[in-house]
Amino acid sequence: MIRSNLLFIFCALTALTIASTASAGLIAYEPFDYTANTRVLGQTNPSTGTPWRLAAGSGATDTTAINVASGNLTPPPGLLPAVGNSATINGNGNLSGAANRLAFNSGSTGFAADSGNTIYYSLLLRGDSLSGSNSTIGGFFIGLNNTGDTATTTNPSAVAARIQARIDPTDSTKYDLGIFRNVAATAGATSWSGPIDLSSTHFIVASIEQVTGTGNDIARMWIDPSPSTFDGPTAPAATQTDNTTGGTDIGAFSIILRQSPAPFFTLDELRIGTDWASVTVPEPASVTLMMLGLLFAALPMRRRSA
């Protein structure tokens, strides 16, 4: 029994080391562990120490559409259970100005125009309703904005690696996801997914590669990537890619949640990082707490066997 417990401890410590190393590129982790039925707006993210700020023009009259929801989403196999609560985007989809932004120190991330670097973000996502959307281009609900830690009085205009959502043109009971550079979405773009069922939870990863040159950055998206790729040194082939040309490059960033003509969503376990592994492995603090709990649970067995 003692040998068994020692082996358990060794495995647990090894897992902790792997998680810590793999998450070295993690910029921010957002489990939405705030009081349910409150706004995301104004909440302070514990990993960055910065608040979620309004990112909307003067015509945005509804700033309550992005809220903290009670409970969390159940991730697909290969991911640890979510912690905290979750967030919902479920206001009137035509109020495109209502958005929240969480900012970071982009200078510490290597994020700069034409740098050749790539920024990733991931989240759990569940489609809840098709209300307020359309079957052409819908609207984007998350992406990387080009402003810092300040509130704005104008609507977001520059958003890279934006995930757009719409009602599927061939099946009005489902929705599509599309990934776009800092360019306007088009209905016939090849970066749209196929139809996705409502009420099912998916693991989504998106990225923007800052290619040297003007208007040629590459946006990518992965829908339910294989767990065998998690913690890998490089990202697998993307599910959808936008490598069109045009638009402008962004050299600073924050993550933005936006109420738009997209379907209504619940999202959870948001991560932003500088590499694939940092957004596809468990957040270090969560892993540590889980492993410590298991270690303490094992101690009575060791005492009984003595």
CA torsion, ordered 291, 297, 298, 304, to nearest 10 deg: 170
Residue 303 lies in a domain: no
Q: Shortest CA distance to 217 belongs to which of 144, 63, 132, 113? A: 113
Residue 167 lies in a domain: yes
Residue 237 lies in a domain: yes
pLDDT of res. 109? 66
Amino acid letter, 149: D
End-to-end CA distance of the chain: 9
Split the chain (306 residues) into runs of 10 and give each run's mean pLDDT: 45 42 76 94 90 74 78 90 93 62 70 82 97 93 81 76 97 98 94 97 95 92 95 93 88 84 94 93 48 43 42
pLDDT of res. 108? 60
Q: What are phi and psi of 108, to 5 degrees?
A: -90, 0
pLDDT of res. 283? 47
Q: How far apart are CA 231 and CA 241, in angstroms?
A: 21
Placement of tokens 């209905």 in the chain: 187
pLDDT of res. 185? 94
C-alpha to C-alpha distances, 156 to 97, 147, 153, nearest whole angstrom: 8, 9, 9
C-alpha to C-alpha distances, 93 to 69, 75, 101, 129, 157, nearest whole angstrom: 18, 26, 18, 11, 18
pLDDT of res. 209? 93
Amino acid letter, 121: Y
Residue 11 lies in a domain: no
CATH number at residue 204: 2.60.120
Residue 17 lies in a domain: no
Q: How far apart are CA 181 and CA 220, in angstroms?
A: 9
Residue 4 lies in a domain: no
Q: How many domains does the chain have?
A: 1
Residue 9 lies in a domain: no
Residue 58 lies in a domain: yes
DSSP annotation of 24: G
Q: How far apart are CA 105 and CA 110, in angstroms?
A: 10
Which structural domain, as residue segments, surrounds residue 74?
26-294
Q: How many helices (H) and strands (E) does the chain have?
A: 2, 14
